[in-house]
Amino acid sequence: MTEQWRARIRIEAGPLETSCWIWTGPNSGNGYGRISIKHRQHAAHRIFYSLCRDAIPEGMQVDHLCRQRACVNPEHLDIVTPRENTRRGNGNAGINARKL
């Protein structure tokens, strides 16, 4: 069984209104899915983006437009700078950055 196939069976459809693909495999403890490839851990959303859309440029981050950390639907993922990812976030740093 290939790594891609094993990953595919660890996804459940999210609520119809969101169209999220929810990763049900291991996670990082803070909600982000983890995939092991050749004994190395990778963020599931980054792997799915790379497989389904394009390579992620060095220094860039993948932002969840749906705000669901476990989502791996490539249509819900956007490549952004770390600064933009922070600004879009719901944490204190993002809230304060949007005030400026």
Mean pLDDT across the chain, nearest whole number? 87
Q: What is the DSSP pairing of strand 21-23 with strand 11-13?
A: antiparallel
pLDDT value of residue 17: 73
Given a cut of 90, whether residue 20 has pLDDT beyond it is yes
Region for 67 from its dihedrals, namely left if φ exceeds 0, alpha if ψ lies in -120 to 50, beta otherwise: left
Q: Read off the pTM.
A: 0.81
